[in-house]
Chains A and B, each alone.
Chain A
Amino acid sequence: MMTMSNAYIDDFPAEAKVIRAAFYSSFFALALGGVFGVIQTLHRTGYYRFIDSADYYTVLTAHGVFLVISFTIFFLVGIFTWAVTTSLDRGVEDLRFTWGWYGLMAIGITLSGVAILAGFTDATDISASVLFTFYAPLQGHPMFYLGLVLFVVGTWLAGVDWFRSWWAWKGENPDERIPLPTFMVLTTMLMWYIATLGVAAAILLFLLPWSLGWIETVNPLLTRTLFWFFGHPVVYFWLMPAYMMWYVLLPKVSGGKLFSDPLARVVFVLFLILSVPTGIHHQYLDPGIAEGFKFIAMTNTMFLLLPSLLTAFTVVASMEHGARQRGGTGYFGWLKALPWRDPVFTGMALAGLMFAAAGFSGMVNAGMNINYLVHNTFWVVGHFHLTVGTAVALTFMAVTYWFLPQVTGKALWSRSVALGQVVLWFVGMTFMSNAMHRAGLLGVPRRTAEPQYDGFEFEAAVGSIGELQAQIALGGILLTLSLVLFFANVIGTGLNGRSDDLPANEYAGTLSGPEDAPLVLDNLKLWTAIAIVLVIFAYTFPLLSIVDRGGLFGPELNPFPVSIESVTLLAFAVEHLAVGALESLSLPGLLEVIR
C-alpha cells in the first residue's frame, strides 16, 4: 500500500460504509427538517406565509420528527459504531446484521415520513399531523406508528450489535476495563432499552391497534404518560453522544487529555440510573396525577442535573489542559490559547456554551410549581433549541468535519466555510432562542401557527412582541444559511478525491485513566438493576392510579382526526412484522443485554 494514512476507513472500510450511510441518512433528514424549520419560523412570526395555517401543523410534525428522530438518531448510531469499533479495535461481528438494523431504521423512518408528508396532499387519506408527541385522541395513520416501531426496533438491534462486539472483545480481554467510548455506548443503550419500553407499550398496546380500528378507544392520560416515560430520556439519547464527543474528541482537538476517565464513567452511570424516572416532570400540569408523584419526578430530575454539572467541570478542565499545554496562562487568559480556528473545536465549544445556558432554562423547567409560568409556552421551545437544537446539533455538525474525512477518506472541502458555519449557527440560535424564552415568559404559546389573537395582545414589559418576532425570524434565516454552508461542505467533501494525508483515527488520552476508576463502575448489571428499580418506584403507582381512574382504554372518545379508511394490507404487515419482530428478536435480545 502506498498510503500512509491511518484514518478510520483504512482500518475499517466496511464499517466506514455503514457509518457513511447512517450519516447521509442523518443529513438528508437535517435538510428536510431545516426547510420545514424556516417555513415555520417565517409563518409563525408573520413575515412570510405561503402555506395555509392548517398545514403549519404538518410542517411542524415533519420538522420535529425529522430532526429529533431521524437526524439525531441516524447520526448517533454512526458515531456509536465508530466508538465501539475504534475503542475495541475490532470490526463488527456480522456485517449483514449491521446493515440489517440500518435497513430497518431506514424503512421505519421512511414509512413514518411518508405518512407525515402525505398530509400535504388530498390525493390520499394518509396523514399524521399529530406532532412529535402524537397525543391521543389525535390520531395518525397506522403507517406513522408502524414506521416508528420499526425504527426503534432497528435501534434496539444496533444496541445488540454493539453488545455483541463487547462480549466478543471481553472474551479475548477478560481482565481489561471497558474502554471509555464503548462504556458510554453500552450505558446509553441500556438507558435506551428501558426508556423505549414506554413508547413501545404506548404504540403496540394502544395507538397502533386503535389507529387500525382493532380497539375503539384509548386512555389519553395513559398513552401520554407512556409517551413521556420515553419522551424525557430520549433527550439523553440525543445528548449522550454529544457528551461522548465532548469527553473523547474535544480534549484531543483542544490539544489536551481528558481530565478524568472515572468521573466520565460516573456521569454515564448517573444518566443510566436517573434518565427514565423523571418523565412526569413534563406532566406537572396534568390533571389525574397526584402532586406527590410530581414531586418525586422533580427530585429525580433535579438530581439529573448532577451529571451535567460534573460534565461541565470535566470537559472545561480537559480544554484548559489543552490550552495550558499550548502555552495558555492565567485565570481566563488560557482561553486565548485554544484552537479557535478549528471548526471542530469551535463548534463543540460553542455548543457547550449554549448548553450551559440551556442548563439554566432546564432548571426552571424541572421546577414543579414554577411550571405554571412556562408550561407549553414558547420558553420551552427556546430551551430545546439550545439543547437538542444546539448542544446536540451543533456538536454533531462540528464533529462531522472530523468524521467525514475519517469515513470517506477524503479531505474536508473547506475549513474556513466550516468555521463560518458553526459560528453562524451559534449567532442565529442566540437570536432565536433568546427571543423564544422571552416570548414564553409573556405567555406566548408554543405549537401554534398564528400566535396572534383577536381578543387580546401579549404585553411585553421590556421590548415588544414585534421585536421578538423579528429576532426569531432573523435567527431562523441565519440558521438556514448555516445549514446551506454545512451541506456545501458535505457535498464538496464528497466530490473530493481520496486523500492519503488525513489525520489518524484517534481519540483523547486521559490524565486520570480507567485504572483510577473503581471496578464497580463497569458493573453494568448492577446499574441496570438499580435503574429498573428506580423506574418501578417512580412509575408503578402513577400508572396504576391512571388505569384505575380512567380505565386501560379510557372513556368513549372519537379518534380525531380520523385518517384512515381501511388498510388491509397494512394491517397484515403490522401483525406479521411488528409483533413478530418484537417477539422473536427484541425481547430475547433485550434480556441478553441485561444479563
Chain B
Amino acid sequence: MNIHTYEKVWLIAALVLIVGFIATVTYGSVGLGIAMIDDSEETVEPGELGEDERFADPRVEQVGENEYEAYVVAQTFMFSPDPIEVPAGSEVTFYVTSRDVIHSFSVAGTNINTMVIPGEVATMTVEFDEPGEYGVVCNEYCGSGHHNMEGQLHVVEEDEFDMTELSVEADDEVETGDEATIDVAVENRMLEELETTVTLEIDGETFGEDVTVAGGETETTTFTVDTADLGEGDHDWTVTVDDYEDSGTLTVVDELEEEDDDDE
C-alpha cells in the first residue's frame, strides 16, 4: 500500500492526539481523583422508596466531622429535599434515585451532574469549599412538565450551618391560677454537641435557659408559667433557638369549658 509521506505524518499526529486525549482523561481520574458515576450502589425498588431507610425521608445527614450524605429523590417534576442545605468546607456524598422515570440531577454551573434512573442509585462525592447558592435542574426529558423541574442547593457558611430541629408542645388553654407548660424539644442532627440557649418570650417577658444537646440527641426544656401573673386573656409566646422560632398563643380562662378545641 502506497501512502504518501505527508499522510503518514498526519496518521502519527492523529494517533498522538488520540493518545493525548486518553492520557488527559486518565490523569483526571487517577491524578485528580475524579470518579465516574458507577455501579457501586445496590438497586432499589422505585415503588417502595417509602420504606427505604435512605429515601423514605429525603434529607442531609452528617456522617463525619466534615462529611455529609444527601439522600435525594427525583420525581415528576421536583427534587426533594428542596433546598438541599450543606455547609461550606465539607465533603458531601449525594445518593440520588428516581421514583418514576429517568431524570437527571444537575447542579447548574458546576460539574455535579448525573443521570437518575429508576431502580438505580447514583452516587457522587463532592467537596464544597465556598458558600454559594446553585440551581438544580433536570436535564433529561421526563414528561410534559419537565421544564418546571428545578431545585436549589445552598452551601452555607460553616459557622451558620446547623442541623437543629425545634419542636414545641405547649398548653393552649389553662385556668387562671394553674401553671402552663411549654415543652421545647431541641434535636441536634449533627455529630458535635450543640450549645445554645432556648428563649421563651411571653407577654414581653423573656425566659432563657442554656442547653447542651449531644450529637444525634434531643433535649427537652420545660418552661413553666404561672398564669396568675399573666391574667385572663390571650398571651402570645415565641420560642427561639438560634435561627429557629416557633410561636403560639396561650389562653388563660376563668373556667375551662369541655370539648373546646381552639387551635393554638
Contact = CB atoms under 8 A, between A and B. Distances in A.
Q: Do chains A and B touch in the complex (CB under 8 A)?
A: yes
A370 B28 CA distance: 9
Contacts of A284: 36-37
B173 interface: no
Interface string A417-446: 000000000000000000000000011111
A557 B118 contact: yes
A325 to B, nearest CB: 17
A137 B37 contact: no
Contact of B37 (A54, A60, A287): A287
Given A302-B22, A313-B10, A517 B109 contact: no
Interface string B45-62: 111000000000000000
Interface stretch (A5-13, A157-165, A190-198, A373-381): A373-381
Given A54-B144, A290-B38, A306-B18, A453 B117 contact: no
B25 A317 contact: no
Given A376-B106, A443-B106, A221 B119 contact: yes
Chain B: interface size category: 35 or more
A287 B41 contact: yes
Given A285-B37, A369-B36, A53 B147 contact: yes
B118 A555 contact: yes
Given A454-B150, A455-B150, A560-B101, A372 B111 contact: yes
B204 interface: no
Contacts of A376: 104, 106, 113, 115, 139-140
A443 B110 CA distance: 8
Contacts of B180: none
Counting chain A CB atoms within 10 Å of each CB, the highest count among B6, B18, B151 belongs to B18
B14 interface: yes
B150 A516 contact: no
A516 B2 contact: yes
Contacts of B34: 369, 372
A367 B25 contact: yes
Interface stretch (B84-92, B120-128, B156-164, B240-248): B120-128
B11 interface: yes
A263 B36 contact: no
A545 interface: yes
B10 A557 contact: no
Contact of B43 (A56, A443, A550): A550
Given A138-B143, A561-B143, A456 B134 contact: yes
Interface string B14-44: 1101100110110011000011111101011
Contact of B135 (A372, A453, A517): A453
A459 interface: yes
Contacts of B10: 309-310, 313
B135 A456 contact: yes
A48 interface: no
B110 to A, nearest CB: 7
Nearest to A454: B150
Interface residues of A, number: 82
A294 B147 CA distance: 29
Residue among A137, A295, A550, A554 with max Cβ neighbours from chain B (10 Å): A137
A224 B141 CA distance: 14
B73 interface: no
A445 B115 contact: no
Nearest to B21: A302
Given A298-B25, A554-B119, A57 B144 contact: yes
A456 B108 contact: yes
A520 B144 CA distance: 53
A550 B113 contact: no
A188 B93 CA distance: 45
A518 B10 CA distance: 21
B145 to A, nearest CB: 7
A537 interface: no
A310 B11 CA distance: 7
Interface in B54-100: 76, 100
B118 A299 contact: no
Contacts of A443: 106-110, 137
A221 B1 contact: no
Given A442-B109, A456-B108, A550-B120, A369 B38 contact: no
Contacts of B117: 220-221, 224, 286-288
**4 nearest CB pairs, A to B:** A456-B135, A445-B139, A54-B144, A443-B108
Interface of B: 1-4, 6-7, 10-11, 14-15, 17-18, 21-22, 24-25, 28-29, 34-39, 41, 43-47, 76, 100-102, 104, 106-123, 133-135, 137-147, 150-152
Given A224-B117, A285-B115, A445-B138, 16 more contacts: A54-B144, A137-B100, A284-B37, A286-B120, A287-B38, A287-B121, A305-B18, A375-B139, A443-B106, A445-B137, A451-B147, A517-B1, A550-B43, A555-B119, A557-B47, A560-B100
